[in-house]
Amino acid sequence: MSALDLADLREAQAGLAGVATRTSLIPLDGFPGILHPVRLKAEFQQPIGAFKIRGAWTAICRLPDAERARGVVTSSSGNHGLGVAFAAHRLGIRAVVVTPESVSGVKAEGIERLGAELLRVGKRRGPEQTAAAIRVAETEGLALIPPYDHADVIAGQATCGLEILEDWPDVTMIVVPVGGGGLLAGICSAVRALRPDVRVVAVEPSGIPKLSAAFAAGRPMMLGEEGNSLADGLLTRTVGDLNWPIIRDTVAEVAAATDEEITAAMRWLGQRSIRVEPSGAVSTAALLAGKVHPTGPVVLVSSGGNVDPARYAELMA
């Protein structure tokens, strides 16, 4: 699949009006050795506390009416489940969200508070949840809304990139966290449509280097179960098949953030009254650790802020 065209992205953007927030670009300073302006794309300002509302809403609203009315099902580590639950609640349809048993408490509570049915399968994020969601879709007649490997999901996530490019024309680099690659592929599509001169840098957890593995092999690779990361929203062990060609043809470089660097970035942002989850700190972590080298104005995408209060306090201590 090639990058999505601008008309598709604009349609998704129009469809999100009144649903998703046009999130802020927060100026940041104090990065060691960085002389260029830095801004944080604050996706934690979304109604569900994460960017996933963009893709979930877009994909569900693009379903045929009769199919959407029967309800939806998805697999998720948490934030995509929140997005699907939010969209389903607003549209008045049934939603089932399959998560691992290790799902964050604040994300699980949010999913259930929005009226979705929560089904915990498997101890950690992996193919078990995807398989379970497919079974539910087949046996109960629900529409499957994948968390990242879906053209309409990618189109929705691309609206984050459109906003960055429209709101700060001076930007020369966008640093993006990568799990399954939906947000990354979306922002790559926006960059290719509007500003192909902008460099896109992907940041993955060092414990789960799925994108580095894909670039090394020339195709998506499923990593083994031994790796782990503090960034629970980025635990997917492969990038999506649809996402990969877009990412491959656009991303300029891949950086990795360790758990120690992610924690340090959360604390650094916390000192500036910005509260993010571990997955939402990886772009900042890469810049703080000197793993990203901008040559002009740079945007760090913070994907979300949904973290259990006790866990956050522990990491800040």
Domains and CATH numbers, the chain: 6-50+151-316 (3.40.50.1100), 53-144 (3.40.50.1100)
| Phi/psi-derived region of residue 80, left when phi > 0, alpha when psi is between -120 and 50, beta in every other case | alpha
pLDDT, residue 48, reads 97
DSSP 221-286: ----SS---S-GGG--SS--TTHHHHHHTTEEEEEEE-HHHHHHHHHHHHTTT----GGGGHHHHH
Res. 124 pLDDT band, cuts 50 70 90: confident
Range with lowest mean pLDDT among 42-56, 185-199, 222-236: 222-236
pLDDT, residue 226, reads 81
Question: How far is the first Cα of the chain from the last one, in angstroms, to the nearest whole number?
Answer: 45
Across the range 185-196, mean pLDDT stands at 98
Range with lowest mean pLDDT among 35-44, 76-85, 176-185, 220-229: 220-229
pLDDT score of 224 more than 90 = no
pLDDT score of 12 more than 90 = yes
Angle between helices 309-316 and 259-270 (to 10 degrees): 100
The total of other beta-carbon atoms located within 10 Å of residue 69's CB is 13
pLDDT, residue 241, reads 96
| Tens digit of each residue's pLDDT (9 = 90 or more) over 27-48 | 999 999 999 999 999 999 999 9
- DSSP-derived 3-state class of residue 75: strand
Across the range 240-249, mean pLDDT stands at 97
Q: What is the pTM of this model?
A: 0.96
pLDDT, residue 122, reads 79
pLDDT score of 123 more than 80 = no
pLDDT, residue 127, reads 82
pLDDT score of 58 more than 90 = yes
| Tens digit of each residue's pLDDT (9 = 90 or more) over 246-257 | 999 999 999 999
Range with lowest mean pLDDT among 185-189, 273-277, 309-313: 309-313
pLDDT, residue 2, reads 72
pLDDT, residue 108, reads 94
Average pLDDT, the chain: 95
- Distance CA(39)–CA(42), nearest Å, equals 9
pLDDT, residue 174, reads 98
